[in-house]
């Protein structure tokens, strides 16, 4: 067997990290199997909320070490991040429940409901695996599916007392809240961070796809981890479409995808060029079952005969746009994880509405200036603006440091500054910039890409107490409308979730929907983007991949989406007015033989 370079002289701990949907769970499982097949004793640990490790091996795996009977030497453990976060929240909130006003307890619980709490709680769970040599002595290797972010590690490295910092009221309601219960574990955490930073003990493997967005995300992660001393990282580019076998008819879609991927690899961010890199070919089947997992790190044996056509019911984007257009104005917010194409979907909706004669303002945080360049002045009635997240965050951070940070000592300022580096800060700052254009939705359409999560919206409402203060001032019987009420009203605001027809992106979008529902916001529609099944490919490998999408599309259609559009994967990237118009024009999504 050939060995990937990231497995050369493998250390005891291997961490795999990457955006949702890039295949890090599959790579982690394949790594664990490869090491165990080589005679090592291996523990595979998943802290990924979208983990399907149990499904991969066909066994039930929970929060206890479970031997994988079909692979001698391999055991697995799934740490449930939500369960860990719930137990963590209760340890902090339990002692004050009944002693503080209910509204204050609810505010504390909301501060502890975000992604930072979940990640820190998960890290709290597997710290023991990094530091307790006696507990893990039986294993030659421990493979982790999902690594902590640089932001979380920096939080754990902060000096001083988090509890006092929060008690004194100098911290923002962001990510320091989750740290209030960790003071007693500072020494253990310091040892865990030291283990992560030691390349002789730990190897971090960044997993990406051959796409500009996921490679850019990997580069950002690389820089963030390097800044805290984790400099020797490896890169796996997963799911690269291989060349079509000689002698088979050329599928234009397959040829275009391969050319696009090769361009992305040729233009890889400079920060990744120094990383030891492995490339893994796209497989024809989903990574479920031991046979599939063992094949992942091997060269692809391409199918020569096409699989069955994957038929799906038509669900054109134009049907959603018809319903949006009927009211004549309003706010449309597109949400979704990075890399699912929400910026393109926002642009397509905006262009279609403008084409129908409506006044439209498309506002985005997308760094891809080519979209703005293509649209600017391209259609009457379409205004395009770009919000610079870095500038907005800098402005917001400066204002908080000048107010809340004015009377802090140097240690307090350092803690506040780190708190302001959290993802929550970015969403709050950008949303405040978005809010400046929402007034236009009374007379025109405002299309927003990227929208904040429900957790961030609740934080805004809780920390500013704006909604409750308006209620108190107006008194009973008075009518009023706050920004939160506008977002909760589907007549005024339509929230659209964008995902891909893959297990992890669908699960992450479902979790985002639950997050919004907590804030009283019901998603108006879902868009499944870049569907291979909807594109009706002829290449054998793509036909098989299309068949694997059908259960995911069915899950979205039947269980979650009030309305659904399925947008096909296109041979050419949808950049430019005409291409964006075509996305909404009802491109056929039923396949042909």
Reported as a single tens digit per residue, the pLDDT across 247-264 is 566 788 899 999 999 999
Mean pLDDT of 35-51: 86
Residue 238 and residue 209 in contact, taking contact as beta carbons nearer than 8 Å = yes
Nearest residue to 287 (alpha-carbon basis) of 476, 23, 501 = 23
Are 5-296 and 317-390+430-584 equal in CATH topology?
Answer: yes
d(CA 461, CA 152): 25
Please check whether the domain covering 317-390+430-584 is classified as CATH 3.40.50.300.
Answer: yes
What are the structural domain ranges in the chain?
Answer: 5-296, 317-390+430-584
Q: Which fold has domain 5-296?
A: Rossmann fold (3.40.50)
Tell me whether residue 154 is exposed, middle or buried, using C-beta atoms within 10 angstroms of its C-beta: 0 to 12, 13 to 18, 19 or more.
Answer: middle
Longest dimension (CA), the chain: 77
**SS3 assignment, position 15:** strand
**Range 263-270, long-range pairs (CB < 8 A, 24+ positions):** 264/210, 264/211, 264/212, 264/215, 265/210, 265/237, 265/240, 267/212, 268/215, 269/215, 269/216, 269/218, 269/219
Q: What is the DSSP letter of 498?
A: E
- Banded pLDDT at 179 (limits 50, 70, 90): low
Mean pLDDT of 333-357: 88
Return the higher-pLDDT residue of 123 and 236.
236
Report whether pLDDT(452) > 70: no
d(CA 448, CA 10): 45
Q: What percent of the chain has pLDDT over 70?
A: 77
Residue 349 and residue 324 in contact, taking contact as beta carbons nearer than 8 Å = yes
Q: For position 177, what pLDDT does the model report?
A: 53
Report whether pLDDT(1) > 50: no
| Model confidence pLDDT, tens digit, residues 469-483 | 445 444 555 554 556
| Model confidence pLDDT, tens digit, residues 80-95 | 777 777 877 787 788 7
Residue 354 and residue 380 in contact, taking contact as beta carbons nearer than 8 Å = yes
- Banded pLDDT at 51 (limits 50, 70, 90): low
- Banded pLDDT at 591 (limits 50, 70, 90): very low
Given 3-state DSSP classes, what are the helix, strand and coil percentages for the chain, each rounded to the nearest 5?
50, 15, 35
Report whether pLDDT(427) > 80: no
Residue 178 and residue 121 in contact, taking contact as beta carbons nearer than 8 Å = yes
pTM exceeds 0.95 for this model: no
H/E/C letters for each residue in 333-367? EEECCCCCCHHHHHHHHHHHHHHCCCCEEEEECCC
Whole-angstrom CA distances from 514 to 111, 521, 563 are 17, 9, 17
The set of catalytic residues is: 21, 23-26, 48, 504
Report whether pLDDT(265) > 50: yes
**SS3 assignment, position 327:** coil
Report whether pLDDT(194) > 60: yes
Q: For position 372, what pLDDT does the model report?
A: 61
């Amino acid at each position: 067997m050939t060995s990937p370079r990231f497995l050369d002289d493998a250390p005891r701990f291997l961490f795999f990290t990457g955006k949702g949907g890039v295949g890090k769970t599959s790579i982690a499982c394949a790594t664990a199997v490869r090491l165990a097949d080589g005679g090592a004793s291996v523990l595979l640990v998943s802290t990924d909320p979208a983990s399907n490790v149990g499904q991969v091996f066909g066994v039930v795996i929970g929060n206890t070490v479970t031997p994988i009977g079909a692979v001698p030497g391999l055991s697995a453990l799934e740490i449930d991040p939500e369960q860990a976060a719930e137990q963590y929240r209760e340890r902090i909130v339990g002692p004050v429940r009944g002693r503080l006003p209910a509204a204050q307890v609810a505010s504390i619980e909301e501060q502890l409901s975000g992604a930072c709490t979940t990640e820190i709680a998960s890290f709290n769970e597997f710290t023991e695996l990094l530091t307790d040599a006696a507990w893990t002595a039986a294993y030659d290797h421990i493979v982790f599916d999902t690594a902590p972010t640089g932001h979380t590690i920096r939080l754990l490295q902060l000096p001083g007392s988090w509890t006092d910092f929060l008690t004194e009221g100098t911290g923002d309601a962001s990510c320091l809240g989750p740290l209030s219960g960790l003071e007693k574990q500072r020494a253990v955490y310091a040892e865990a961070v030291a283990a992560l930073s030691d390349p002789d003990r730990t190897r971090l493997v960044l997993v990406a796809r051959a796409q500009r967005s996921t490679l850019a995300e990997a580069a950002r992660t690389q820089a963030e981890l390097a800044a805290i001393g984790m400099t020797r990282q490896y890169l796996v580019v997963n799911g690269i479409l291989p060349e079509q076998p000689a002698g088979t008819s050329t599928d234009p879609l397959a040829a275009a995808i391969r050319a696009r991927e090769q361009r992305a690899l040729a233009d890889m961010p400079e920060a990744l060029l120094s990383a030891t890199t492995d490339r893994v070919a796209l497989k024809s089947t989903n990574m479920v079952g031991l046979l599939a997992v063992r094949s992942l790190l091997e060269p692809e044996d391409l199918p020569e005969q096409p699989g069955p056509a994957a038929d799906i019911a038509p669900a054109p984007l134009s049907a959603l746009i018809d319903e949006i257009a009927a009211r004549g104005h309003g706010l449309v917010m597109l949400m979704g994880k990075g890399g699912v194409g929400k910026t393109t979907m926002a642009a397509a909706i905006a262009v279609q509405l403008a084409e129908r004669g409506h006044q439209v303002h498309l506002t985005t945080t997308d760094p891809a200036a080519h979209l703005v360049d293509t649209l600017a002045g391209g259609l009457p009635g379409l205004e395009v603006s770009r919000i610079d997240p870095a500038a907005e965050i800098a402005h917001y951070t400066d204002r908080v440091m000048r107010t809340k940070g004015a009377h802090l000592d140097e240690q307090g300022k350092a803690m506040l500054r780190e708190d302001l580096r959290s993802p929550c800060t970015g969403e709050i700052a950008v949303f405040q910039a978005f809010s400046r254009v929402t007034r236009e939705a009374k007379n025109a359409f405002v299309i927003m890409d990227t929208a904040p999560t429900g957790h961030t919206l609740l934080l805004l409402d809780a920390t500013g107490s704006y909604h409750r203060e308006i209620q108190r001032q107006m008194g009973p019987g008075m009518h009023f409308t706050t920004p939160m009420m506008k977002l909760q009203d589907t007549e005024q605001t339509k929230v659209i979730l964008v995902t891909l027809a893959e297990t992890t992106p669908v699960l992450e979008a479902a979790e985002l929907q639950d997050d919004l529902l907590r804030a009283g916001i019901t998603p108006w529609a879902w868009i499944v983007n870049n569907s291979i099944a909807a594109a009706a490919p002829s290449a054998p490998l793509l036909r098989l991949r299309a068949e694997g999408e059908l259960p995911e599309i069915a899950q979205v259609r039947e269980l979650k989406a009030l309305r659904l559009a399925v947008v096909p994967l296109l041979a050419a990237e949808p950049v430019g007015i005409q291409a964006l118009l075509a996305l909404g024009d009802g491109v056929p999504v039923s396949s042909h033989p």
